[in-house]
Chains A and B, each alone.
Chain A
Amino acid sequence: MSQGNYVSRRRFIQGVGSAFFLAGLQAALPLPLWARANHWGLDGLPSARDRYDLTIGYSPIVIDGREGTATGINGTVPGPLVRLREGDEVTLNVTNALMDTEHSSIHWHGILVPFPMDGVPGVNFAGIPPGETYSYRYKLVQSGTYWYHSHSFLQEQSGTYGPLIIDPKDGEPWPYDRDYVVVLSDWSFEKPETLFRNLNLLGHYYNYQQRTLGDFIRDIRQDGFKETMDERLAWGKMRMSPVDLADVTGAAYTYLMNGNSPDMNWTALFAPGETVRLRFINASAMSNFDVRIPGLDMDVVMADGKAVRPVTVQEFRIGVAETYDVLVRPREDRPFTLFAESIDRSGYARGTLSPEPGLTAPVPLLRKRPVRGLQDIGMGMMVGEMNEGEMGGGHGGHGGHGEMGTKDDPRIPGPNGPEPFMPDRKTSVNVAMTIPNPRYRLDEPGLGLGHDGWKVLTYKDLTSEEPPEYADTPEREMTIHITANMERYMFSFDGMKYTEHPGPYLFRHNERLRLFLVNHTMMDHPIHLHGMWMQLENGADRLPYKHTILVKPGEVVSALITPIEKGDWAFHCHLLLHMEAGMFQVVRVV
């Protein structure tokens, strides 16, 4: 599958024309002020406060003229911008006005809080019953771009999320003229419970980009009959799909940017020559995005709210629940498109960065849906004499690492690397596949990226800007295996769904722990640890801090962790339906 085909197979996407019409209607939409088009950024908005009142309730949502019911916060999707100040003691009063639900909750994603303030029902508290208010009180010991969302049932999917930013007490580390929050999310008019049920009945229910007979014939023409057959048989034998990139797709979703559909075209204004800060937050339930602004370089300056040494890129992949702050410096007096493609290329979120209201820039075509190579899941050896890199389907430059065993790779830390995993009788139903030799992949941008002639961010590019706080050398190592059975829609850690685990994972208070995460599935999983930072061991001299790590198929990553707060903490895949299906565990810090 050569690169040349990407262009010719691109699909043409329409729908730019209605943008002008809709822009005028924006004032009537249930959107918070900061998310409406054509404003001049956060400077014009109220500054940080130390108290917010948030009410979760059913509220109307209007997407492309169609009205639905959301579980919004204070009547809007996304919810209000919660803007706080580092060092402040804050009070966040959350009221549950969803009168027919058992409970609601808000979790402050990425914020270090005491155990009872973290907001996960069944882990940190009992949830907020209908009609009641829970007061979250904590002192902020960090700054940056974060978000908040419900951790009850599937409420997050239907709109219970919003941005959270914390102003640093000593001023921002770099100068800029404008400041925008860019919340990416996925909206479906189908009920979240329906999405979950449909996937449980048929794992590929929303995948309308499966490989067809036509693809088979074309691959035979390109790669020859034997290679194509070998490849198809290898996948068929495993009963795995190489195009299983997203469970819920554009077939069910409208992708939103600050609550606006692509046609509604959220617009941020700038004056040429200004430096604009864009705080990208992926508040999706199930959608990882690839973000770019054609015509502009982006300096990535923060990842997950923490300052990183600036990296200039033209594109980055943002997993669910991750945040990236970028600085852009548009010199020309023209509009630019903010383009966030879902990783399976089934749709996109879009907005415009414009010198004046009402302008639009060309919207890029969706790229072709990529195909995972067997190499991508560490199974390259299954196909006999296949040439290195040929099956890569995605990352020509890294083919050479395919055959390297996990233990031999010096980039994987620790004397032995991750512990191996073998499903036993107890876990045999849960685990459809195990990766014998998980690979180091931090220098890869991700499937389908890196072939367009521009620089794409990788995890390896991230270096923390903060002075090191903890020792580099771990006292203890631990491995958690990410496992799944897509056909049964069962998702798990170490081959056990949440309710099948005999007890929580144990972390020791203030220890320095190396946690290996090994992905034995076909999908990228954004793995989120509550209550403490994970410092990604990416070879940087200062390890970057992450609250959510997007782990690629067949990949092993490791993170150094210092559990600073005792108590029970949620640890889970941030794809909402994977979490609900069992990819969840409690970490107990004792």
Chain B
Amino acid sequence: MKRFVLLLVFAFLPVLSLAADEKSGEPVTDYFPADYPEAPSVRPEGQGIVKYAEDGDSKGNFGRHPVHDNQLFATFKTDRFEHQWKEHGVEVFLWDVQGWIGEDYNKLYLKSEGEVLLEDSHPVEEADLELLYSRALSKFWDVQFGFRQDFRPRPQRTFAALGIQGLAPYWFEVDATAYLSEDGDLSAAVEAEYEIMLTQRLHVIPRLEMGLSLQDVPEYEQWQGITDLTLGARLRYQISRKLAPYVGLTWHRKIGETGHNLKKVGDDIDTLGAVVGVKLWF
């Protein structure tokens, strides 16, 4: 029960903060100074003014909107969609995709990330799906909250998610999310990317990913503190804005208590891999 309440509070905290964001609807009345002379009230024949505020539709005369500044868009992109060759002949396929539907302020995000081990049996190592409501919070940041489902590793887990996504100063694209699992465990993931333009179409993209855990969760091989770190660099060529193949390197290491414990049991805690992939955008 306590967990459930915590989960609820966690997920709906942002809603409370946004409630204060209600748009004030009162019309502006102080355009003219108080002693400003009245305009003559006689109007030419046939030129009565239809006030759009009184026209049934609040934003246009005659039932039309002159502009359409609140359009709904939907998009889907593969941030990473790649084949990885790791050390010791291990090959995996990794996807990291997201899509959204929405307008300037409110969006619904769908994100998924996962890894398939490319062996005969094709076991899925990791796979998750996030469904997030996203709200524009400030000029460069969105607050996002919702749920994450981990299908792998097993047993499956459900999380509440709360994070921010946006553009940090100096053009770093950042996505930082905290997760509360159904067992009450708190963790977080931070991703940051930067685009170095070698030419208009050839870019180098350094990438950093970090995992954190607030408590020991040995059944999922996580211990308190920073759990793992992934550094990558990809060289991407934009054939078009919507099609950009890339090659790169990625280095992953379990660190902190997690690294220490896994090393004790003989696990390989750091791996280097080469990647080939494509960024697609619809």
Which residues does A use to contact B, with CB under 8 Å? 103, 114-116, 120-127, 151, 153, 196-198, 200-202, 205, 208-214, 233, 236-237, 239, 425-426, 428-432, 475-476, 478, 485, 487-488, 490, 497-500, 502-506, 508-511, 566-568, 570, 572, 579-582, 584, 586, 588, 590
In the complex, the answer to whether A488 meets B36 with C-beta atoms within 8 Å is no
Residues of A within 8 A of B27 (CB): 502-503
Residues of B within 8 A of A196 (CB): 71
Q: Does any Cβ of A come within 8 Å of B60's Cβ?
A: yes
Measured between C-beta atoms, what is the minimum distance from A268 to chain B in Å? 36
Measured between C-beta atoms, what is the minimum distance from A570 to chain B in Å? 6
Q: Does any Cβ of A come within 8 Å of B12's Cβ?
A: no
Q: Does any Cβ of A come within 8 Å of B52's Cβ?
A: yes
In the complex, the answer to whether A123 meets B66 with C-beta atoms within 8 Å is yes
In the complex, the answer to whether B104 meets A201 with C-beta atoms within 8 Å is no
In the complex, the answer to whether B139 meets A236 with C-beta atoms within 8 Å is no
Q: Does any Cβ of A come within 8 Å of B89's Cβ?
A: no
Measured between C-beta atoms, what is the minimum distance from A534 to chain B in Å? 18
Residue of A213, A233, A431, A498 touching B66 (CB-CB under 8 A): A498
CA distance A499 to B26 in the complex (A): 14
Residue of B66, B69, B169, B197 touching A120 (CB-CB under 8 A): B66
Measured between C-beta atoms, what is the minimum distance from B33 to chain A in Å? 7
Residues of A within 8 A of B196 (CB): 213
In the complex, the answer to whether A210 meets B104 with C-beta atoms within 8 Å is no
Residues of B within 8 A of A122 (CB): 52, 59-62, 64-67
Q: What 0/1 readout, one digit per residue, does chain B (167-184) give for beta carbons within 8 Å of chain A?
A: 101110000000000000
In the complex, the answer to whether A201 meets B75 with C-beta atoms within 8 Å is yes
Residues of B within 8 A of A116 (CB): 46-47
In the complex, the answer to whether A485 meets B139 with C-beta atoms within 8 Å is yes
Residue of B nearest to A200 (CB): B73
Residues of B within 8 A of A497 (CB): 69-70, 104
In the complex, the answer to whether B31 meets A499 with C-beta atoms within 8 Å is no
In the complex, the answer to whether B23 meets A500 with C-beta atoms within 8 Å is yes
In the complex, the answer to whether B200 meets A210 with C-beta atoms within 8 Å is yes
In the complex, the answer to whether B61 meets A211 with C-beta atoms within 8 Å is no
Residue of B47, B65, B71 touching A115 (CB-CB under 8 A): B47
With A210-B197, A567-B47, A586-B52 in contact, is A121–B62 under 8 Å at CB?
A: yes
CA distance A103 to B167 in the complex (A): 39
Measured between C-beta atoms, what is the minimum distance from A123 to chain B in Å? 5
In the complex, the answer to whether B24 meets A590 with C-beta atoms within 8 Å is no
Q: Does any Cβ of A come within 8 Å of B198's Cβ?
A: yes
In the complex, the answer to whether A114 meets B39 with C-beta atoms within 8 Å is no
With A212-B198, A237-B169, A568-B50 in contact, is A508–B36 under 8 Å at CB?
A: yes
With A200-B73, A239-B171, A581-B69 in contact, is A428–B32 under 8 Å at CB?
A: no
In the complex, the answer to whether A503 meets B70 with C-beta atoms within 8 Å is no
CA distance A236 to B63 in the complex (A): 43
Measured between C-beta atoms, what is the minimum distance from A31 to chain B in Å? 30
Residues of A within 8 A of B47 (CB): 114-116, 566-567
With A212-B199, A502-B27, A586-B52 in contact, is A239–B140 under 8 Å at CB?
A: yes
In the complex, the answer to whether A125 meets B62 with C-beta atoms within 8 Å is yes
CA distance A59 to B145 in the complex (A): 48
Q: What are the nearest 7 A-B pairs in CB distance?
A: A582-B69, A122-B66, A122-B60, A122-B64, A236-B170, A126-B62, A503-B27
Q: Does any Cβ of A come within 8 Å of B28's Cβ?
A: yes
Residue of B nearest to A579 (CB): B67
Measured between C-beta atoms, what is the minimum distance from A353 to chain B in Å? 35
Q: Does any Cβ of A come within 8 Å of B264's Cβ?
A: no
Known contacts A121-B64, A212-B199; 17 further A-B pairs (Cβ under 8 A): A120-B66, A123-B52, A126-B64, A153-B68, A197-B73, A201-B73, A239-B169, A428-B138, A432-B139, A432-B140, A476-B32, A497-B69, A502-B28, A504-B52, A566-B43, A566-B44, A580-B68
Q: Does any Cβ of A come within 8 Å of B217's Cβ?
A: no
In the complex, the answer to whether A490 meets B49 with C-beta atoms within 8 Å is no
Residues of A within 8 A of B136 (CB): 429, 488
In the complex, the answer to whether B69 meets A509 with C-beta atoms within 8 Å is no
CA distance A197 to B104 in the complex (A): 12
In the complex, the answer to whether A151 meets B66 with C-beta atoms within 8 Å is yes
Q: Does any Cβ of A come within 8 Å of B21's Cβ?
A: yes
Residue of A nearest to B70 (CB): A499
In the complex, the answer to whether B104 meets A566 with C-beta atoms within 8 Å is no
CA distance A428 to B66 in the complex (A): 24
In the complex, the answer to whether A476 meets B69 with C-beta atoms within 8 Å is no
With A126-B64, A566-B47 in contact, is A506–B31 under 8 Å at CB?
A: yes
CA distance A284 to B42 in the complex (A): 39
CA distance A255 to B252 in the complex (A): 50
Q: Does any Cβ of A come within 8 Å of B53's Cβ?
A: yes
In the complex, the answer to whether A509 meets B39 with C-beta atoms within 8 Å is yes
CA distance A510 to B39 in the complex (A): 8
In the complex, the answer to whether B169 meets A502 with C-beta atoms within 8 Å is no
In the complex, the answer to whether B197 meets A212 with C-beta atoms within 8 Å is yes
CA distance A120 to B61 in the complex (A): 10
Interface of B is mostly: loop
In the complex, the answer to whether A584 meets B69 with C-beta atoms within 8 Å is yes
Residues of A within 8 A of B154 (CB): none
CA distance A211 to B195 in the complex (A): 12
Q: Report B142-196 residues with CB < 8 Å from chain A CB.
A: 167, 169-171, 196
CA distance A162 to B149 in the complex (A): 57
Q: Does any Cβ of A come within 8 Å of B241's Cβ?
A: yes
21 A-B Cβ contacts within 8 A? Answer: A114-B44, A114-B47, A121-B60, A121-B62, A122-B52, A122-B67, A127-B62, A151-B66, A198-B241, A200-B71, A201-B281, A210-B197, A239-B170, A428-B139, A566-B43, A567-B47, A580-B69, A581-B69, A584-B69, A586-B66, A590-B49
Residue of A200, A211, A503 touching B53 (CB-CB under 8 A): A503
Q: Does any Cβ of A come within 8 Å of B105's Cβ?
A: yes
Q: What 0/1 readout, one digit per residue, does chain B (202-213) give for beta carbons within 8 Å of chain A?
A: 000000000000
Measured between C-beta atoms, what is the minimum distance from B190 to chain A in Å? 19
Q: Does any Cβ of A come within 8 Å of B266's Cβ?
A: no
Residue of A nearest to B53 (CB): A503
Residue of A nearest to B24 (CB): A426
Residues of A within 8 A of B24 (CB): 426, 502
In the complex, the answer to whether B66 meets A499 with C-beta atoms within 8 Å is no
Residues of A within 8 A of B67 (CB): 122, 498, 572, 579-582, 584
In the complex, the answer to whether B61 meets A233 with C-beta atoms within 8 Å is no
CA distance A540 to B36 in the complex (A): 29
In the complex, the answer to whether B197 meets A211 with C-beta atoms within 8 Å is yes
CA distance A478 to B139 in the complex (A): 26
In the complex, the answer to whether B39 meets A508 with C-beta atoms within 8 Å is yes
Residues of A within 8 A of B167 (CB): 239, 487
Residue of A nearest to B169 (CB): A237
Residue of B21, B64, B71, B73 touching A127 (CB-CB under 8 A): B64
Residue of B31, B36, B140 contacting most chain A CB atoms (<10 Å): B31
CA distance A31 to B76 in the complex (A): 40
CA distance A584 to B36 in the complex (A): 27
Measured between C-beta atoms, what is the minimum distance from B85 to chain A in Å? 28
Residues of B within 8 A of A510 (CB): 39-40
In the complex, the answer to whether A429 meets B69 with C-beta atoms within 8 Å is no
Residue of B nearest to A566 (CB): B43
CA distance A53 to B193 in the complex (A): 57
Residue of B21, B36, B61 touching A124 (CB-CB under 8 A): B61
Measured between C-beta atoms, what is the minimum distance from A346 to chain B in Å? 11
Residue of A nearest to B77 (CB): A201
Residue of A nearest to B46 (CB): A116
In the complex, the answer to whether B64 meets A508 with C-beta atoms within 8 Å is no
Measured between C-beta atoms, what is the minimum distance from B271 to chain A in Å? 30
